Amino acid sequence: MMDDVNLPQKWEADYQRRTDGWDLSGPTPVFKRLASSPELIPGRMIVLGAGRGHDAREFARHGFHVTAVDFAAHAAREMHRLAEPAAPVEVLQKDLFTLPDEMNHSFDYVLEYTCFCAIDPHRRGEYADLVKRLLKTDGRYIDLAFPLDGRQGGPPFAVTESEIMELFGARGFRLLAREKPADSVKPRKHAEELFIFQKMEAGRRSN
Three-state DSSP at 34 gives: helix
Name the DSSP class of 171.
T
Instruction: Pick the range with the lowest mean pLDDT from 14-18, 24-28, 81-85, 193-197.
Output: 14-18
Per-residue pLDDT averaged across 113-133, rounded?
95
Residue 122 has pLDDT above 80, yes or no: yes
178-205 mean pLDDT: 87
Say what the pLDDT of residue 1 is: 45
Tell me, which fold does domain 28-199 have in CATH? Rossmann fold (3.40.50)
The pLDDT confidence band at residue 201, using thresholds 50, 70 and 90, is confident
Q: How far apart are CA 127 and CA 163, in angstroms?
A: 13
Q: Where are the domains of the chain?
A: 28-199
Q: How far apart are CA 86 and CA 147, in angstroms?
A: 33
The pLDDT confidence band at residue 203, using thresholds 50, 70 and 90, is low
Q: Are 56 and 90 in contact (CB under 8 A)?
A: no
| Amino acid type, 1 | M
